[in-house]
Copies of this chain bind each other. A is one copy, B any other.
């Protein structure tokens, strides 16, 4: 790709970003948009509803940047939870890493690359120059200057490992501090027990009661059986929909809309008062729901939330195998009540197992299907091929701007468009796997999306672009570095445009919140009662974290190969830091609190990127006829993996549970605190399935227990 095509793409996206940000800075000042741009402030009732018009409201401003920048981490922790803080640490970590990489890359490596003469350069026309003259490919074979690259790889690895250690340490301390300072939560005292054995004499509930009061008389508090409530959930959804419809009908001014024909063959039916009709139907549903609820009595599933009087009591049951049969009395960490994903409970062991198999197959199919857009994208970057396929396009493609748009901007746009459907699909797949908490589903989906993106964006593009695309390179481990060394550097410019298209523009559109804005406007036009169905959104970690980590991967792998990508990445991370900090403070409200359990994903992904970079460098030095440097790089991935194994030992256990020391200390503090018995009482009913609560649609305002997908989309 030539420089001008890159500049076209950068130009388009920079323009888009400017437009988005300007639009945002104007729109956010309009009080009508408060629900879109500051929903959590509105929900907290802190929004200043002055609607007096002045000129300043129409001018773009940058005050929001300062308001996103200023609040200290403590405030972020208070408002966005530890997950929010950890999320922001990804940006801080990446910025630190790429500041170092940027200084080394741009001041040292870039000039060296440029001074090489491996690739023929036409000095007369700078803008048409191939971008490859800035990459390592331009350094002459066997040049002594490559030793500077070698040094840079070692220095960068050391620096990143230091950062990783530091950050892991910081976050694990934060996590422990957060745990010990937080208020008592029901999930700390509760264990989800599955595989309760059937007894010929007792009901399941009695079996649970007997077991725990026999073996843990001093700590056992209560239990709550789980029921198969998917039928009731369906009724509740239906009722919710009807209720919204009635509210809408009641609010419309035109009474003509209030009357209509209903039922089958509705054309032949007489007109009725729809409000009356629906209200009757709603009553029916309420009645049915109550019947269903009463029918459930005695039909428990073999699962229960068992609560204990102390955290250590719950931990004992959680960690030690309970029953003699290892498939009975299985214990699992209980999710927060608000985080519980109720539909899972319908899943038996077998259906969960089948679900897992289905998910594996689905992921494979999805990966194969995703080759189609990747091939299209790679076709576009090679214009000549496109001309051979569609000869009639030749005349259009010869126009410089068109060809620049097609090679520079279009490919990443297509990829970006397809990629945005991946996270929702992965969430659906993860929810099939039978996780008990939304946070677990998010975490699992986050991992899936991450590896899917790395494979389909990085590897598929890198390998297909160089016609070396074949899955079986991973069956010839010795060849991997060489194949990657040939294929990866070629794609540098494509990934730069990807950073610009996907990174920059996505971040600024995140700020503008275009879809919620449109939705809010349409709702306001068709419905008069605003604020009725208002819900504070939450940040979907499973779609955002993988894309940030993918950019991290780009930066790490291309740091040596083609340092030109680094300034674009730095811009992305700076922008992302401000934008997401702002969104976490003003827009999103956390739906769950994992206590920073997303960090290990970031750590693993960075280690993977480092090792990948090192392998590519091994190959590059081989290709550049510097075998000594190539051999001397081989210990580096080994050292990195050893470092990783140390980190796993040193930090990972903190993210899997909490130490006994802290639990016992917290328990003792609670002993003396007032309100202990109040809390125990609350604990008894904390895990009641919301579907089993007495139902009355007109008063249902708590929406956090709606099924996941409904609330995510």
Contacts and interface: CB of A to CB of B under 8 A. Distances in A.
A639 to B, nearest CB: 13
B323 A654 contact: no
A322 B652 contact: no
Contacts of A664: 215
A516 interface: no
Given A215-B661, A660-B215, A664-B215, A653 B475 contact: no
B654 A326 contact: yes
A11 interface: no
Contacts of A176: 324
Nearest to A215: B664
A658 B651 CA distance: 28
Interface in A27-75: none
A657 interface: yes
Nearest to A320: B660
B661 A323 contact: yes
A471 to B, nearest CB: 12
A661 B322 contact: yes
A678 interface: no
Contacts of A215: 660-661, 664
Interface string A638-682: 000000000001111110011111111000000000000000000
Contact of A475 (B324, B475, B652): B475
B327 A316 contact: no
B653 A321 contact: yes
Interface string A306-343: 00000010011101111111110100000000000000
Contacts of A650: 325-327
A653 B319 contact: no
B321 A660 contact: yes
B661 A324 contact: yes
A324 B316 CA distance: 17
A477 interface: yes
A312 B312 CA distance: 13
Nearest to A653: B326
Nearest to A321: B659
A324 B662 contact: yes
A478 to B, nearest CB: 9
Contacts of A325: 650
Contacts of A321: 653, 657-660
A136 B538 CA distance: 65
Q: How many copies does the complex hold?
A: 2
Contact of A322 (B316, B475, B651, B660): B660
A321 B650 CA distance: 12
A532 interface: no
A327 B659 CA distance: 12
A202 interface: no
Most chain B CB neighbours (cut-off 10 Å) among A316, A322, A326, A475: A326
B662 A326 contact: no
Contacts of A476: 475
A323 B659 CA distance: 6
Contacts of A651: 326
A664 to B, nearest CB: 5
A660 B477 CA distance: 46
A659 B322 contact: yes
A324 B649 CA distance: 13
A598 to B, nearest CB: 19
A320 B327 CA distance: 21
A189 to B, nearest CB: 15
A414 B476 CA distance: 36
A652 B325 CA distance: 10
Nearest to A315: B320
Contact of A659 (B319, B324, B477): B324
Nearest to A665: B215
A240 to B, nearest CB: 39
A321 B651 CA distance: 12
Contacts of A316: 312, 316, 319-320, 660
A312 B321 CA distance: 11
A476 B474 CA distance: 10
Nearest to A476: B475
Nearest to A652: B326
Contact of A327 (B312, B317, B649): B649
Contacts of A477: 475
A660 B176 CA distance: 28
Contact of A319 (B319, B323, B324, B327): B319
A650 B322 CA distance: 13
A81 to B, nearest CB: 21
Q: Which of A312, A324, A476, A654 has the most CB of B within 10 A?
A: A324
Contacts of A662: 324
Interface in A610-658: 649-654, 657-658
A477 B476 CA distance: 11
A327 B324 CA distance: 31
Contacts of A326: 649-654
A390 B556 CA distance: 60
Nearest to A169: B325
Contacts of A317: 660
A209 to B, nearest CB: 15
A424 to B, nearest CB: 30
Nearest to A357: B642
A685 to B, nearest CB: 27
A428 to B, nearest CB: 25
Interface in A180-223: 215
Contacts of A315: 320
Nearest to A475: B475
A257 to B, nearest CB: 58
Interface string A123-167: 000000000000000000000000000000000000000000000
A648 B659 CA distance: 28
A22 to B, nearest CB: 49
Q: Which 7 A-B pairs rank lowest in CB-CB distance, beginning with the nearest?
A: A326-B653, A319-B319, A320-B660, A321-B659, A215-B664, A322-B660, A324-B659
Given A215-B664, A324-B659, 7 more contacts: A312-B320, A320-B660, A320-B663, A322-B660, A323-B659, A326-B654, A327-B649
Interface of A: 176, 215, 312, 315-317, 319-327, 329, 475-477, 649-654, 657-664
17 contacts: A312-B316, A312-B320, A316-B316, A316-B319, A316-B320, A316-B660, A319-B320, A321-B660, A322-B659, A324-B662, A326-B651, A326-B652, A326-B654, A327-B649, A327-B650, A329-B661, A475-B477
